[in-house]
Structure 1
Amino acid sequence: MDAIWTLGNQDTPRYAPLNADADADVAIIGAGITGLTTALTLAEAGQKVIVLEAREVGGGVTGGSTGNLYSTLASGQASIRKKWGDEVSRDVIRARSEAVDVIEALIERFAIDCQFQRQPAYRVEPANDSKAGYDWDEEKAALADAGLDVEAADHPGLPFATQGIKISDQAQFNPLHYVQGLATVASDLGVIIHEHSPVRNVDHKQGTVTTDTACVSARHVVYATHTPKGLNLLQAGMLVSREYAVSARLKSGHYPEGIIWAMDPFHSLRSYRQGNEQHVIVIGEKHKTGEQKGDHYRHLQEYLQTHFDVEAFTSQWSAQQYSSPDGLPYIGRLHGQDTVYLATGFAADGLTWGTLAAMIISDQVLGRDNPWQARFDARRITPGKSATQYTKENAHVARHMFKDYLSTEKLKEADEVAPGQARVAKVDGEELAIHRTEDGQLKVLSAVCPHMKCIVHWNNAESTWDCPCHGSRFDCDGEVIEGPSYHPLARRIR
């Protein structure tokens, strides 16, 4: 199923693929919240902008997000305060609050129909849970010190007793409808958007961005791709994970209102109304990309059935996260490149970080000062705050490189894979990703990820091939879905 945000999504404008060489002031790769907010801002400043999107507008991480907008962090404010101190903790809240206000202002200014509303955020745990032990005093102190209105949680509408805190004046919306609205406004201002135009190469020195069919030449290039494409040192320290979502209609009972983070150990809940129909959404089951274990959608369905009177499940989807080693996003100029920009390391907080990234990058392109540029600089080096995760993630990559090549099973023929199965196996000395569809169609690909030559793993929940090293993902035909890889998995004829 698609994300719930696609409901009522007929009559959506579509944009033709790039089919001829073109010139621009700025080429933006990615038509999510980062790319389109940047494009709109630059177009209003008189820049000629071309946006290249591999799929469709909002079809990546933005369209798979929670639709929650908040000043704090989903993982909690106390951890960032402990790592960085009071000043940085305050800056995170101030910068993110400013970004949420920018989203609200754009919605009002351009009359974007995306169900935006201000809502409180709750961080709660089951009442009288002996296994809980969350430090509420530490979290409240971090939030209050940064200027947020925090109080003991009143009842957030969950059908079980909880205790925790409430943060006022946060927000929710439909993220897909929002970026589709941004695309319409940007297009009206002269931004040229090309869907179904996956980028295969970027030449930083020449300022060229190449797809399968044509090339864009630009003075500035922006990677609005959630992680930079190709090889980049930032990827070495990034924790890449996936999280799942399930929505349902209820037979009876109340739908919870607001942003709810339930520390049990962690589920994110919210409601969403489309027309006359209301849904409850639960997000959770996070795991490292390429290391899926178990039926994550079923576990979320069981969670909803345990706590709510479910009538029917309506959608299920997943999204990818990139968490930086020092807890802050990387936004701004690429190392050694003054006209190439990136934004990554958003963790689970990408809608707000993506908007802030657009504000910072747009100002850099236009030669304007931005108060947040230095704080989230993509060129910063913070070994004291980053070393632990860098060490873990590089060991993780090395382990997969060693283990996956040595432990690949051997098959005499790809035909040994049964309908509905997918296996990574060595056939005639080559590692292959083999999938046979339920109707018997055999699809054989190289199992070697083009990015860093790791072996991909099958994600049964999504029917995708996922790389455990740096998060590149491929559909069952081998095409890149997301991640740093420019190129698809090579097809093999068997």
Structure 2
Amino acid sequence: MEAIWRLGSLGLPVCAPLEEQAEADVVVIGAGITGLTTALPLVEAGQRVVVLEAKGVGGGVTGGSTGNLYSTLASGQAALRRKWGDEVAADVVCARSEAIDDIEALIKRFSIECQFRRQSAYRLLTGDRQHSDHSLNDERDALLRAGLDVASAEGPGLPFDSWGIRIPDQAQFNPLHYVQGLASVLIGMGVAIHEHCPVRRVDAKEGLVQTDTASVTARHIVYATHTPKGISLLQAGMLVSREYAVAARLRRGEYPEGIFWLLDPFHSLRSYRHGDTPYLMVVGEKHKTGEHEGEHYQLLREYLSSRFEIETFSHQWSAQQYSSPDGLPYIGRMHGHDNLYMATGFAADGLVWGALAGRIIADQILDHDNPWQARFASRRVTPGKSALQYAKENATVTKHLARDYLGTERIDSFDGIAPGQARVATKSGEKLAIHRTEAGELKVLSAVCPHLKCIVHWNPEESTWDCPCHGSRFDTDGEVIEGPAYRPLSRSEGLG
């Protein structure tokens, strides 16, 4: 099922795939909030800009996000303060607040219909107040020291006992409608946006970006792809996760207004209205990409049903997150290539980081000063704050390589794969990703991820093949959905 944001999708002028050689000053890979925010100041400065999008505009992580815009971090301001101290924690709030203001200003400037509203964000505890394992004292203090207004929240409009803190003047919108509106504006300004146009190769030395059907040469290349494509040292320390969302209609009761973070241990609630029809959504059930346990959508449905009177469930979707080892995003020029730019490590806070990243990268390309360029520099080295996660993630990669290559079951035929089932197995010495559709069609691919040769795992919630090492994901035909891989999973030669 698709994300709820596609209700009443605005639509765009035709953005056909690139079919001929092109030249540009800047080629942006990715038409989400990062890529389109990057493109806008560039074209306004007279740059020739081409945008290449593997799906449709906003069809990646932007269109699978919560639509929540907030100055703090979903993981909490106190944790950021403990790692970085008061100055950096305050800078994060200031930079993110400016990015939200920039989004609001663009919405007003271009009259983008995306239901932008200022709302409060809540950080709440639930359950037995006498035996709560959580304390919000550190969080309240960290928010105040970062310059945010904070108020107590008792009974903030939820039909169950909850209490905590309220942060006013945050915001919500429809993220897909926002980037579709931006895309329409950019097309009107002369930006060439090409949808359904996956990039297969980038040659930084030649300034060349190749797709299946053509190529673009440009002086600057921007990876607005949530993680840089190809091989990057930063990927070795990145924690890659998936989180799930479910939307529902209520039988009765009020739809809560605001951003609600429930520390139980963690769920996010918000409402959304399409026309006269309101919806309630819950986000949660995070796990490492490629490591799947449990029925995540069902658990979210049970979560809502135990707290609200549900009439029907309407939508379900998921999104990917890349968390940096030191807790801050990497934005700007990549190591070793002054003409390559990236933005990654957004964790669960990507909409605001994406808007900020677009402005920082555009300013770098235009050689303009940006007050946040140094703070979130992609070439920074922070071993004291990063070493632990680097060690953990490299140990995880080693574990998967050893276990998946040595422990994969061996089969002689595909007869044991029933309709609707999938598995990874070794046949005739080849590691295979095997799936039989509900209609009985057998699809056999190489199970070796083309990025760095890890073995993919089946994700039954999404019917995808996911790499547990660096987060590349593939559909049942092998095509890349997201992640650092350029190429699809190769097809197995023989089915016999």
TM-score by length of 2: 0.99
5 Å-filtered alignment, 1:322-341, equals: 322-341=322-341
Letter of the aligned partner of 1:5 in structure 2? W
Which residue of structure 2 lines up, in the alignment, with residue 316 of structure 1?
316
Partner of 2:177: helix, strand, or coil?
A: helix
CA distance in 1, matches of 2:134, 2:180: 39
Letter of the aligned partner of 2:334 in structure 1? L
CA distance in 1, matches of 2:135, 2:115: 34
Which residue of structure 1 lines up, in the alignment, with residue 20 of structure 2?
20
Which residue of structure 1 lines up, in the alignment, with residue 169 of structure 2?
169
Structure 1 residue 459: Cα displacement: 0.3
Structure 1 residue 13: Cα displacement: 3.4
Residues 414 and 427 in structure 1, CA contact (< 8 A), matched pair in contact too: no
Q: Deviations over 1:180-222 (max 9, x none)?
A: 0000001111110000110000000110000011000000000
Which aligned segments of 4 or more residues in structure 1 are displaced greater than 6 angstroms? none
Which residue of structure 2 lines up, in the alignment, with residue 113 of structure 1?
113
Which residue of structure 1 lines up, in the alignment, with residue 450 of structure 2?
450
Residue-pair matches, total:
494
CA distance in 2, matches of 1:420, 1:323: 33
Which residue of structure 2 lines up, in the alignment, with residue 226 of structure 1?
226
Partner of 2:251: helix, strand, or coil?
A: strand
Letter of the aligned partner of 2:221 in structure 1? V
Residues 10 and 177 in structure 2, CA contact (< 8 A), matched pair in contact too: no
Structure 1 residue 129: Cα displacement: 4.3
Which residue of structure 2 lines up, in the alignment, with residue 375 of structure 1?
375
Does 2:93 correspond to 1:93?
Answer: yes
Q: Which 10-residue stretch deviates more, 130-139 or 197-206? A: 130-139
Which residue of structure 2 lines up, in the alignment, with residue 68 of structure 1?
68
CA distance in 2, matches of 1:362, 1:52: 17
Letter of the aligned partner of 1:237 in structure 2? G
Structure 2 unmatched ranges of 5 or more:
none
Which residue of structure 2 lines up, in the alignment, with residue 203 of structure 1?
203
Letter of the aligned partner of 2:15 in structure 1? Y
Evaluate the alpha carbon distance shift between residue 431 and residue 364 of structure 1 in structure 2; reply closer, same or farther with a 3 A threshold.
same
Which residue of structure 2 lines up, in the alignment, with residue 423 of structure 1?
423
Structure 1 residue 416: Cα displacement: 2.5
CA distance in 2, matches of 1:162, 1:108: 35
Which residue of structure 2 lines up, in the alignment, with residue 31 of structure 1?
31
Partner of 1:283: helix, strand, or coil?
A: strand
Letter of the aligned partner of 1:452 in structure 2? L
Letter of the aligned partner of 2:34 in structure 1? T
Q: Deviations over 1:395-436 (max 9, x none)?
A: 000000000111101110123311110010001110000000
Evaluate the alpha carbon distance shift between residue 136 and residue 351 of structure 1 in structure 2; reply closer, same or farther with a 3 A threshold.
same
Structure 1 residue 154: Cα displacement: 3.9
Q: Deviations over 1:330-378 (max 9, x none)?
A: 0000011111100000000000000000010000000001000000000
Letter of the aligned partner of 1:377 in structure 2? A
Which residue of structure 1 lines up, in the alignment, with residue 478 of structure 2?
478
Residues 154 and 162 in structure 2, CA contact (< 8 A), matched pair in contact too: no
CA distance in 2, matches of 1:191, 1:176: 19
Which residue of structure 1 lines up, in the alignment, with residue 49 of structure 2?
49
Partner of 2:180: helix, strand, or coil?
A: helix
Structure 1 residue 156: Cα displacement: 2.4
Partner of 1:252: helix, strand, or coil?
A: coil
Q: Deviations over 1:72-96 (max 9, x none)?
A: 0000000010000000000000000
Residues 12 and 184 in structure 2, CA contact (< 8 A), matched pair in contact too: no
Letter of the aligned partner of 1:278 in structure 2? P
Partner of 2:287: helix, strand, or coil?
A: strand
Letter of the aligned partner of 1:160 in structure 2? F
Which residue of structure 1 lines up, in the alignment, with residue 253 of structure 2?
253
Which residue of structure 1 lines up, in the alignment, with residue 145 of structure 2?
145
Partner of 1:153: helix, strand, or coil?
A: strand
State the superposition RMSD in angstroms.
0.9
Residues 156 and 163 in structure 2, CA contact (< 8 A), matched pair in contact too: no
Partner of 2:415: helix, strand, or coil?
A: helix
CA distance in 2, matches of 1:9, 1:342: 28
Which residue of structure 2 lines up, in the alignment, with residue 128 of structure 1?
128
Structure 1 residue 40: Cα displacement: 1.2
Structure 1 residue 12: Cα displacement: 4.0
CA distance in 2, matches of 1:117, 1:154: 23
CA distance in 1, matches of 2:83, 2:468: 27
Which residue of structure 2 lines up, in the alignment, with residue 184 of structure 1?
184
CA distance in 2, matches of 1:342, 1:12: 26
Structure 1 residue 292: Cα displacement: 1.0
CA distance in 2, matches of 1:455, 1:443: 17
Letter of the aligned partner of 1:331 in structure 2? I
Q: Deviations over 1:41-96 (max 9, x none)?
A: 21111110000000100000000000000000000000010000000000000000
Which residue of structure 1 lines up, in the alignment, with residue 393 of structure 2?
393
Which residue of structure 2 lines up, in the alignment, with residue 281 of structure 1?
281
CA distance in 1, matches of 2:466, 2:294: 15
Which residue of structure 1 lines up, in the alignment, with residue 402 of structure 2?
402
Residues 323 and 347 in structure 1, CA contact (< 8 A), matched pair in contact too: yes
The percentage of aligned residue pairs carrying the same residue is 68
Which residue of structure 2 lines up, in the alignment, with residue 439 of structure 1?
439
Residues 154 and 166 in structure 1, CA contact (< 8 A), matched pair in contact too: no
Partner of 2:23: helix, strand, or coil?
A: strand
Residues 123 and 165 in structure 2, CA contact (< 8 A), matched pair in contact too: yes
CA distance in 2, matches of 1:199, 1:473: 15
TM-score by length of 1: 0.99
Residues 156 and 257 in structure 1, CA contact (< 8 A), matched pair in contact too: no
Residues 81 and 88 in structure 1, CA contact (< 8 A), matched pair in contact too: yes
Letter of the aligned partner of 1:80 in structure 2? L
Residues 5 and 175 in structure 2, CA contact (< 8 A), matched pair in contact too: yes
Letter of the aligned partner of 2:409 in structure 1? E
Does 2:212 correspond to 1:212?
Answer: yes
Q: Deviations over 1:230-284 (max 9, x none)?
A: 0000000000000000000001011111000000110000000000100000000
Partner of 1:101: helix, strand, or coil?
A: helix
